[in-house]
């Protein structure tokens, strides 16, 4: 899984759905920084304090949710390519 971004994204989302903080902590590096429209390069501790509580709002798994989660971790070009690939696969 170490070099498989899709597997890491699915495991991360599964940790949120399962409310499994130990699992997500195992996936996120100590030097992790998170950026989103609301957060500018927050560190790992701040991420867990601010973002982990949102796990209570997730109840299931969809590919579009995985794409949205990836936006904060990837360039827009990579996210668009992954979303297009996922959409093409789903239509097949």
Say if CB 58 and CB 17 are below 8 A apart.
Answer: yes
Over residues 52-89, the pLDDT tens digits come to 888 777 666 555 555 445 444 443 434 444 444 444 44
Task: Give domain limits for the chain.
Answer: 5-91
Say if CB 39 and CB 28 are below 8 A apart.
Answer: no
Over residues 7-46, the pLDDT tens digits come to 888 888 888 888 899 999 999 999 999 998 888 999 999 9
Say if CB 42 and CB 50 are below 8 A apart.
Answer: yes
**How far apart are alpha carbons 58 and 81 in whole angstroms?**
25
**E runs forming strands in 1-92:** 33-34, 42-43
């Amino acid at each position: 899984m170490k070099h498989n971004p899709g597997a890491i994204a699915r495991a991360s989302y599964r940790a949120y759905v399962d409310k499994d903080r130990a699992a997500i902590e195992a996936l996120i590096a100590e030097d992790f920084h998170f950026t989103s429209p609301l957060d500018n390069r927050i560190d790992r501790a701040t991420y867990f304090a601010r973002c982990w509580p949102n796990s209570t709002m997730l109840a299931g798994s969809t590919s579009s949710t995985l794409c949205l989660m990836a936006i904060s971790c990837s360039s827009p070009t990579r996210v668009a390519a992954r979303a297009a690939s996922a959409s093409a696969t789903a239509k097949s």
